[in-house]
Amino acid sequence: MQVVQTITELRAAVAQARAAGKSVGLVPTMGCLHAGHLALVTRARQEAAYTVVSIFVNPTQFGPNEDFTRYPRTFEADRAACESAGADLIFAPTPADFYPAGASTWVDVEGISTGLCGQFRPGHFRGVATVVAMLFNAVQADVAIFGQKDLQQLAVIRRMVRDLHFPVRIIAHETVRESNGVAMSSRNRYLSPEDFQRATAIPAALVEARRLVAAGTTDTALVRAAAQACLAREPAIRLQYIELVDQETMAPVTQVTPGRCALAIACHLGNTRLIDNTLL
């Protein structure tokens, strides 16, 4: 497995793989890898012959009062995990390697990025879309794998790919969960043991929403109220939003259409922000 830091090195390695007739898969990450990330690497290896994992804590997707400086950085452990998972190359640039001095070009996916997390994290999805567009341009992958846990991010990237005609296939991999049902996240390490257990109310709310929809409920107010009641059983959870939305546009819906809708949740436990969702 190679580790490269510059786009020049990255392109040379990918060109060599292409010359050998290999298709290319990309798994973009910010590092601090867990089993959920490694499931994406495994999926990429199933979809392509050569797998690139990017590890880059992207400063442009963090707000001024967010956790950029304390976001966990565990490169040596990440390198070992990628090698064990069968990745072929890690691209690990610094911000100076990746963003040219005086960079002033952005990718802003309007509309789809303004609700849900976008409402509370202004500029976040502009940073995400820009860095992912740069990765797509640098790697020229055939396929890129993203986790369903970041549902709005996935929708933003799919729309960007469509609108800008990127020749890459986007695959969503189902959310990987801890043994207690909590969605795996690099930020889970911020949680105290007590808050980690309290966080089980989040997947419980999603399960309740799925149960109601499977039983024929289409009224979004009823589904939302039932899910919110599950969360309310844990007073330590500070709800930021709970919304039923269209899976593609992220627009709020007033009636559940099975196969088209999702329930998305964002909340805080202590100082840790958690997100989760379920397709309905």
- End-to-end Cα separation, the chain, in angstroms: 39
Taking CA 103 as the corner, what is the angle to CA 100 and CA 107, rounded to the nearest 5 degrees? 120
Catalytic pick from 37, 124, 173, 268? 37
152 and 57 share one domain:
yes
192 and 152 share one domain:
no
pLDDT (average), residues 82-104? 95
24 and 143 share one domain:
yes
Contact 135/55 with Cβ under 8 angstroms?
A: no
- Does the pLDDT value for residue 65 go beyond 90? no
- Does the pLDDT value for residue 70 go beyond 90? no
Residue 280 is assigned to a structural domain of this protein: no
The CATH number that applies at residue 134 is: 3.40.50.620
Supply 173's token pair: 């991999």
Binned at pLDDT 50, 70 and 90, residue 178 comes out as very high
**How far apart (Å, rounded) are the C-alpha atoms in residues 116 and 109?**
14
Residue 101: exposure state from Cβ atoms within 10 A (0-12, 13-18, ≥19): exposed
137 and 231 share one domain:
no
Residue 279 is assigned to a structural domain of this protein: no
Residue 55 is assigned to a structural domain of this protein: yes
Mean predicted lDDT score pLDDT of the chain: 97
141 and 18 share one domain:
yes
Among 117, 144, 173, residue at a domain's last position: 173
Say how far residue 210 (Cα) sits from the centre of its chain.
22
Is 34 labeled as catalytic in the residue annotation?
Answer: no
pLDDT tens figures, 147-158 = 999 999 999 999
pLDDT tens figures, 229-246 = 999 999 999 999 999 999
Domain count, the chain: 2
pLDDT at position 66 is 84
228 and 128 share one domain:
no
122 and 234 share one domain:
no
Residue 260 is assigned to a structural domain of this protein: yes
67 and 156 share one domain:
yes
109 and 236 share one domain:
no
93 and 205 share one domain:
no
What is the SS3 assignment for 263?
strand
Q: Which residue has the higher pLDDT, 255 or 65?
A: 255
Q: Which residue has the higher pLDDT, 272 or 64?
A: 272
Binned at pLDDT 50, 70 and 90, residue 67 comes out as confident
Among 138, 173, 208, residue at a domain's last position: 173
The CATH number that applies at residue 229 is: 3.30.1300.10
Largest CA distance in the chain: 57
41 and 152 share one domain:
yes
Contact 279/247 with Cβ under 8 angstroms?
A: yes
Domain region containing 206: 186-274
pLDDT at position 69 is 86
pTM of the complete model: 0.95
129 and 104 share one domain:
yes
Among 127, 147, 173, residue at a domain's last position: 173
